[in-house]
Chains A and B, each alone.
Chain A
């Protein structure tokens, strides 16, 4: 087993951070979509 280079550790942290932001964005978008569909139920143009 080879020990990770410090750069790898930093990049992993950065990648995980970006992943968390993207997942949060998708969840928010999904949640708002559900709410908006609920509040405009029966009126697709509303």
Chain B
């Protein structure tokens, strides 16, 4: 029998990661959004794939997203330690060693891509591999610290899950999943810049060139409005694809109108007004934008349920 008492004594001051610390490394909140948008893309796609195969593909996409989160936390540990929002993450707090985060990220990346290739098809596996590479290397290692357009271009990584899911169950990428990609791609800048407006000091402290740090408060508000305007027609367009239907049309029109109203409120304020109410409208836009994405992609599931209940019905398909 081995006596591990000396080991315990040596580790008395060191943190010993629990299972939950490894789970936090995978960014479970981001994963939930990835899972939901991928699920919507999967359910909305016209395919006869078995539910178990679809579930397996969904698990692979979720694990791939988690893996890129772990790689992000490994690389960004230095700046995460300085920012109020991120200083409690497992690597900066010392609960997980950087090498463990890197190993977990790389290991789960390989497993998720390989298994998606086995469970679904090479196209979906290739798209997942590209997404992980894009988030971990292009966004995290290159764009994030180099340009204020970091989250505009990097947002593509978060926009891929419904496309991967669509490819997993149909074996192809058509205009409908491309529109779903564009919805998330154009939604990302207003979502993140609303957060960056009130977290500007954090980003400035670690020299991350987020738009409010580089271009200022007023320009960020203008850009939030511009991207929201571009989002509006693109968000409604999937209603007229094979994935859409009346539920999506109604939800996307109403939710986008509300999103535009809130973005306009943020656009019309200045820094002084925002500071007076502690960035109330900006925080509201950030919070509502998350609900918005769930609502819009949830509506795709609603239309799929409607088709399952009523059978195929006449609906204009323009794209």
Q: Are A14 and B52 in contact (CB under 8 A)?
A: no
Q: Are B56 and A7 in contact (CB under 8 A)?
A: no
Interface size class of A (residues with CB under 8 A): 10 to 19
Bound form: Cα–Cα A16–B19 in Å = 9
Could you say which residues of chain B place their CB within 8 Å of the CB of A14? 17-19, 22
When A32-B53, A35-B50, A35-B53 are in contact, do A18 and B19 touch as well, CB less than 8 Å? yes
Q: Are B19 and A35 in contact (CB under 8 A)?
A: no
From DSSP, what is the main secondary structure of chain A's interface residues?
Answer: helix
Q: Are B11 and A7 in contact (CB under 8 A)?
A: yes
Bound form: Cα–Cα A15–B286 in Å = 38
Q: Are B18 and A10 in contact (CB under 8 A)?
A: yes
Taking CB as reference atom, which chain B residue is nearest A16? B19
Number of interface residues of B (CB under 8 A): 14
Q: Measured between C-beta atoms, what is the minimum distance from A31 to chain B in Å? A: 5
Bound form: Cα–Cα A46–B17 in Å = 45
Could you say which residues of chain A place their CB within 8 Å of the CB of B16? 7, 10-11
- Per-residue CB contact flags for chain B residues 53-95 toward chain A (1 = under 8 Å, else 0) read 1011001000000000000000000000000000000000000
- Is B8 in contact with chain A by the CB < 8 A criterion? yes
From DSSP, what is the main secondary structure of chain B's interface residues?
Answer: helix
- Per-residue CB contact flags for chain A residues 4-28 toward chain B (1 = under 8 Å, else 0) read 0101001101101110000000001
Q: Are B19 and A7 in contact (CB under 8 A)?
A: no
Q: Are A7 and B8 in contact (CB under 8 A)?
A: yes
- Per-residue CB contact flags for chain B residues 1-28 toward chain A (1 = under 8 Å, else 0) read 0000000100100001111001000000
- Is B119 in contact with chain A by the CB < 8 A criterion? yes
Q: Measured between C-beta atoms, what is the minimum distance from B300 to chain A in Å? A: 24
Q: Are B59 and A39 in contact (CB under 8 A)?
A: no
Could you say which residues of chain A place their CB within 8 Å of the CB of B17? 10, 14
Bound form: Cα–Cα A4–B289 in Å = 47
Q: Are A13 and B18 in contact (CB under 8 A)?
A: yes
Q: Measured between C-beta atoms, what is the minimum distance from A42 to chain B in Å? A: 17
Taking CB as reference atom, which chain A residue is nearest B111? A25
B contact set with A: CB distance below 8 Å:
8, 11, 16-19, 22, 50, 52-53, 55-56, 59, 119
A contact set with B: CB distance below 8 Å:
5, 7, 10-11, 13-14, 16-18, 28, 31-32, 35-36, 39
Q: Which 4 A-B pairs have the closest CB atoms?
A: A17-B19, A14-B19, A35-B52, A32-B56
A-B contact pairs, 14 of them (CB 8 A): A5-B8, A7-B8, A7-B11, A10-B18, A11-B16, A13-B19, A14-B18, A14-B19, A31-B52, A31-B56, A32-B52, A35-B52, A35-B53, A39-B50
